[in-house]
Amino acid sequence: MNQFLFGLVLLIGLMLPPVARLMESVMIIHMHMQMPMLVIAGFFMAHLFLQRYPQFFNKYNQNGVPGILLFTIIMAYWLLPRTMDEALTIETVEIFKFVSLPFLAGVPLRDSWRRLSKTWKNNVITLFTVVFLGMGWLYIQSNDQLCNNYLVIDQVILGWGFITMAICMVIYLIYIFAVDPSQYE
Amino acid sequence: MQPALKTTSIKQKTTQVLGISLEDARISKSYLSVAFIALLLGGLLGLLQGLNRAGVLQLPPWLNYYQVLTAHGILLVVVLSAFFTIGYFYAGLSHTLGGLLPKVRKMAWIGFWMKIFGFVLVVIPILRNEASVMYTFYPPMAASPMFYFGLVFIVLGVWMLSFGAFTQVANWRRNHKGEHLPILAFFATGVFVLLVGATAFVAVEVIFMIIPWTLGWVDGINVLLARTLFWAFGHTAVNIWYLTAVSAWYVVVPKIIGGTRWNDLLTRMVVIPLVIMNITGGFHHQIIDPGISESIKYMHVFMSLAIGFPSLMTAYAMFRVFERTARAKGGKGLVGWYKKMPWGDVRFLAPFIAMVAFIPAGAGGIVQSTNQLDQVVHNTMWVVGHFHLTLGMSVVMTFFGISYWLVPYLSKRVLTPAMNRLGVIQTVIWTIGMVIMAISMHIVGLFGSPRRTSFTTYGDFAEKLGWNPYMALVGIGATLLLLAVILQVYAVFNLMFFAPKGTTEFPIAEEEAGAEKTPYWTERWGIWVVLMLLVVSMAYVLPIVDMILNAPPGSPPFKTW
């Protein structure tokens, strides 16, 4: 219950208009801070759903793959420059953001992550690493304004944000492959 | 008892029963000797500055105020703190992990001589008045290139020592599968991870920006970027010294007062967030810098205050441990249990005063990381007062307290009652001196007296003359502090070479009886490091890309002195 409340308070906090406006005023904070925090809010709230409806999750997400697929689709959708623009200009899309990221990405992520095998987990991280490198390249080299609401410099900054995050994931993958936990645990 | 210590290997038990091996002791003694010689020199230079600012001493042109200030900062903030931290943690690693590996010893010595070589290169231009750039060496002030080459060697030395520590820890973990790293080694791991992370930033600043610029290979330097890289290092460095002191508060002090350690999981949960969130705190040193938008500064206040949270946990934990221990010894009443604390024991008294000092010191830090409040005190003597409270009291007094058992432990001697009494006197003098100095610095800073400024009456301008009584108090404080420094250095070398032979224990408190087992996830350092990198990249990518892409033409080097 505590975890659910923490997630709910985080979600409500992020939805407060002044907070949302501040975070959305900077492109990279919009995409790399607000959106992941919404997923994290869902991740925490998932605790209650997993307790209350274990049957539902067992039935539809037996091996974790459907859940991670849903997570990936939602994340991919919110990676598009146009969706970010629409979130700022169309209210229903903004509402969809605050619903989809916690409940359709955060919740299935938590349920799937405990079900997925190690290989699946590493593949998911590798997929996002490649996607982030690609998005970084797109945002850095594009001379055109991809979002109506943000300047080109914001795009470049976001691009570098993608690259640095991808580097962190590469370091993590190297750590996973290079260090054999059975030597230590 | 901690599970990791339950199944200690024979080697580990030998180290703990027979004491530290001579080779390991020599490493730590060398580091501590350099640290306390730096304290003596730095303290002496501190007195010269204090007397200068008090208006009673005109420094000669061949040793001017800014030279003295640069050397004072480097000797105390870099040499004393770094050498003490390394000496202390290497002794701790040797003690808790069953002696240093031969290759780790070799790495420790290579690191030692690299650092010494670096410091020689740094000191020469300072003495020749070619590097009066203060310890922050902000461009566009440019020192002689030799100064920066010296810094490079210091950083290389730090990396060598950090990788030595990682090698030692990895080896121990391979031989103790599934066990928790002993708590002092856990702190050491956190400290060395932060040392590598922090110095990486300053290495980029010095190697890729400042050195090509002072050698004339490039015309200009991006001042804002250089300052940002510096503070990613500078702020973390200060927090590393603080984390070192905190390790003694959690691990050593409870043993000295005859109690048990605070909850193991919560202790580790103080180290982990401090490691993950520390580096990004550097931005609050740049609250007044132009070129960083207000919304970024606003968001970075969160990162700075986030570091305050583990400190608040520590404050609670420490006083809970004190109360628990004192009540177990028969202490009664709301505050009456304080009588049961070993006030006459310098090994407790010095770190205790250090902890108390962190209350106003931490509060002052919050003032400085708050935009509007900082505008009043930025670059004034307030800031100097603040870091004399944090470093000069919270950190250094803990180091002093440690020295009264660590040095005799290393030299296989004992702390005599007479030396303990001297330590108590030294602690009291230091406390009085530092309180007088830090309070007057804070007050005169609020009145607007700038830091890093040689004595001047501003043409006898009446308002500025009102600062002088406070500056006189700074001089008095500095005098008392030098007296305390002399006593401290005497105590250290007496305990190292002349005190009676005997056995001194390395005091490591045990967990409370029946304590819950700590979950194993605390040991996943790889994950903590990746999280640290993620937080750093999220915090820095926006301002740094902006600083680079929207950079002004860059500044040529200036020699302002």
Chain A residue numbers touching B534 (CB-CB < 8 A): 165, 168
- Consecutive H or E run containing B199: helix B183-204
Rounded-to-integer distance, Cα B368 and Cα B360, Å: 12
Provide the CB-side half-sphere exposure for B29 (13 A, CA): 20
Over residues A50-55, the mean pLDDT reads 93
Q: Which residues lie closer than 8 Å to B506 by C-beta, 6 or more apart?
A: B16, B20, B91, B92, B95, B405, B406, B409
Domains detected in chain B: 15-311+346-514+527-549 (1.20.210.10)
Q: Is the Cβ of A115 closer than 8 Å to some Cβ of chain B? A: no
pLDDT on residue B7: 45
User: SS3 helix, strand, coil % of chain B, rounded to 5?
Assistant: 75, 0, 25
Question: Could you write out the three-class secondary structure of B448-480?
Answer: CCECCCCCCCCCCCHHHHCCHHHHHHHHHHHHH
pLDDT on residue A87: 95
pLDDT on residue A183: 79
User: SS3 helix, strand, coil % of chain A, rounded to 5?
Assistant: 85, 0, 15
pLDDT on residue B2: 43
Cβ distance B84 to B487 under 8 Å?
no
Residue carrying the six token digits 């007397």: B51
Q: Is B12 exposed, middle or buried (0-12, 13-18, 19+ CB in 10 A)?
A: buried
Nearest to residue B86, comparing CAs of B30, B168, B37, B38? B30
Tell me which residue in B173, B533, B549 faces A168 most closely, judged by beta carbons: B533
Q: Tell me the per-residue pLDDT of A146-155, one tens digit each, with 9 for 90 and over.
A: 999 999 999 9
Is A168's CB within 8 Å of B545's CB?
no
**Other residues' Cβ atoms within 10 Å of the Cβ of residue B174:** 10
| DSSP per residue, B74-120 | IIIIIIIHHHHHHHHHHHHHHHHTTS--HHHHHHHHHHHHHHHHHHH
Under DSSP, the state recorded for B412 is T
Cβ distance B474 to B441 under 8 Å?
yes
Q: Which residues lie closer than 8 Å to A168 by C-beta, 6 or more apart?
A: B530, B533, B534, B537
How many angstroms separate the Cα of B481 from the Cα of each of A49, A172, B66, B431?
Answer: 61, 48, 20, 8
Amino acid at A115: R
Tell me which residue in A157, A183, A185 faces B541 most closely, judged by beta carbons: A157
Cβ distance B78 to B118 under 8 Å?
no
> What is the pLDDT tens value at each position of chain B, 561 positions in all?
344 444 456 666 666 666 789 999 999 999 999 999 999 999 999 999 999 999 999 999 899 999 999 999 999 999 999 999 999 999 999 999 999 999 999 999 999 999 999 999 999 999 999 999 999 999 999 999 999 999 999 999 999 999 999 999 999 999 998 899 999 999 999 999 999 999 999 999 999 999 999 999 999 999 999 999 999 999 999 999 999 999 999 999 999 999 999 999 999 999 999 999 999 888 889 988 888 888 888 878 888 888 888 889 999 999 999 999 999 998 888 888 888 999 999 999 999 999 999 999 999 988 888 888 999 999 999 999 999 999 999 999 999 999 999 999 999 999 999 999 999 999 999 999 999 999 999 999 999 999 999 998 899 999 899 999 999 999 999 999 999 999 999 999 999 999 999 999 999 999 988 888 899 999 999 999 999 999 999 889 999 999 999 999 999 999 998
Rounded-to-integer distance, Cα B296 and Cα A28, Å: 11
Q: Is the Cβ of A165 closer than 8 Å to some Cβ of chain B? A: yes
Nearest to residue A79, comparing CAs of A33, A125, A132, A126? A132
| Distance, CA of B217 to chain centre | 35
Cis status of the peptide bond prior to B342, with omega within 30 of 0: no
Rounded-to-integer distance, Cα B474 and Cα B479, Å: 9
Q: Which residues lie closer than 8 Å to B101 by C-beta, 6 or more apart?
A: B167, B168, B171
Is B533's CB within 8 Å of A28's CB?
no
Tell me which residue in A28, A172, A185 faces B530 most closely, judged by beta carbons: A172
pLDDT on residue B304: 83
Q: Which residues lie closer than 8 Å to A62 by C-beta, 6 or more apart?
A: A115
- Chain A closest CA to B148's CA: distance in Å? 28
Chain A residue numbers touching B280 (CB-CB < 8 A): none
pLDDT on residue B4: 43
Q: Tell me the per-residue pLDDT of B309-358, one tens digit each, with 9 for 90 and over.
A: 888 999 999 999 999 999 999 888 888 888 899 999 999 999 999 999 99
Q: Which residue of A has its CA nearest to B541?
A: A161
Q: Which residues lie closer than 8 Å to B509 by C-beta, 6 or more apart?
A: B251, B252, B253, B254, B255, B259, B260, B261
**Other residues' Cβ atoms within 10 Å of the Cβ of residue B56:** 12
Q: Is B546 exposed, middle or buried (0-12, 13-18, 19+ CB in 10 A)?
A: buried
Tell me: pLDDT of A83 over 80.
yes
Tell me which residue in B173, B177, B534 faces A168 most closely, judged by beta carbons: B534
Q: What SS3 state is found at B558?
A: strand
Q: What number of residues does chain A have?
A: 185
Rounded-to-integer distance, Cα B240 and Cα A106, Å: 35
**Other residues' Cβ atoms within 10 Å of the Cβ of residue A170:** 16
Q: Which residue of B has its CA nearest to A175?
A: B526
> Exposed e or buried b for every residue in B365-385, given b needs 16+ CB within 10 A?
bebbbeeeebeebbebbbbbb
pLDDT band at A42 (very low <50, low <70, confident <90, very high): very high
**Other residues' Cβ atoms within 10 Å of the Cβ of residue A78:** 20
Q: Which residue of B has its CA nearest to A28?
A: B542
Chain A residue numbers touching B527 (CB-CB < 8 A): 172
Rounded-to-integer distance, Cα B159 and Cα B535, Å: 22
Q: Sketch the domain layout of chain A as residue ranges.
A: 2-183
